[in-house]
Amino acid sequence: MTNTIKKLAVIGGTGLTELEGLEIIESKEVATPYGKPSGPLVFGKLDGKEVIFLARHGNPHRIPPHEVNYAANIFALKQEGVTSIIGVNAVGGIEYLMGPAHVVIPDQLIDYTHSRKNTYFEGEIDAVTHIDFSYPYTESVRQLLIDAAEAHDVAYSDYGVYACTQGPRLETAAEVARLERDGCHIIGMTGMPEAALAAELEIEYACLALVVNWAAGKTANIITMDEIDQAIDEGMGYVRQILVETIKQA
C-alpha cells in the first residue's frame, strides 16, 4: 500500500528502552512548554530510514505510567517535525486468543485513567476545540504494522480494544471482569492520553502492543514479574522485527 509517513517516531515502553540496529546520529535533550520529556530524543537511521526514538519510561526504566509526562513527550516530537508515531506498549491479555508473548495491533481503546494531563486545549485558548476521536489509531499506520507482522510470520491480532487503566498497580480480578464486559481485549497503563494528545497535534498514531501476562482472574495463578519478564524476553524480538520492517517500508 502507499504510505504517507514523512517523519516517524517510535515511543518505546516496558522492555523497549532502545532500538537495536538504530544508527544513532544524535541524542538531544529538549524542552517544551509542558516540561521535559521522559528522556532525550534519539535521532538515527535504520536501514537508511530516519527515525526518532523516545523511551516512554526513561532509560533506565524509572518513570511509572501515571507520572509519564505524555504532553511533553508528544509536543517534543511535534517540535521535531514528526508526522507519525508508533507507540509500543506492554499489556495484559483478556481475550483468550491474546496470551503472553502475543502481538496485538489494536483498533480501539477505552480510557479509564484519571488525573493525567490529557489535553492541550485548556487554559488561555482562542476557542474551545473538540477533536474527532472516533477511531483513535491511524489506519494507514496500523496497516504498515500488520503488513510487517505478516512479512515476518509473527503471530498477531489485527484488532483489539485497549483498556487504559491508571496504574501503577495491576488490576483486581473483579476489575478485569468489568473490563471484559465493557468489550476490552487487552489492558495497559500508557495508551492514554498519549493517543489523544497525538491526535490533538494532528500526528498519525498507532499502537503496537505485546501481551506480557494474563490479566488478573484469567488464570488461577497470581501475576509475577518473572512471568512478565519471560514474556518480554520471548515476545520483544517479534516487536523489534515488526518495527524494523515497518521503518523500512515507511
Give the integer Cα–Cα distance in Å for 198 and 47.
26
Is 177 among the annotated ligand-binding positions?
A: no
Is 174 among the annotated ligand-binding positions?
A: no
Give the integer Cα–Cα distance in Å for 105 and 138.
11
Is 4 among the annotated ligand-binding positions?
A: no
**Percentage helix, strand, coil, to 5, in the chain?**
25, 25, 50
60 preceded by cis ω (within 30°)? yes
Is 56 among the annotated ligand-binding positions?
A: yes
**3-class secondary-structure state, position 38:** coil
Residue 67's nearest CA partner among 19, 106, 113, 27 is 113
Half-sphere exposure of 78 (CA within 13 A, CB side): 20
pLDDT for 61: 82
CATH class of 8-119+133-249: alpha beta
Q: Is the whole-model pTM more than 0.85?
A: yes
Distances (CA, A) of 227 to 131, 150, 170, 200: 39, 27, 14, 36
Where are the domains positioned within the chain? 8-119+133-249
Is 89 among the annotated ligand-binding positions?
A: no
How wide is the angle at C-alpha 204 spanned by C-alphas 72 and 134, nearest 5°? 100
What is the DSSP pairing of strand 8-12 with strand 186-188? unpaired
As averages over each run of 10 residues, the pLDDT of the chain (250 residues) reads: 75 71 87 96 87 91 94 97 96 96 97 96 86 97 96 95 96 98 98 98 97 94 86 89 89
Is 178 among the annotated ligand-binding positions?
A: no
pLDDT for 125: 81
pLDDT for 17: 56
Q: What cell was used for 116?
A: 493525567
Give the integer Cα–Cα distance in Å for 82 and 192.
19
Q: Are 158 and 105 in contact (CB under 8 A)?
A: yes
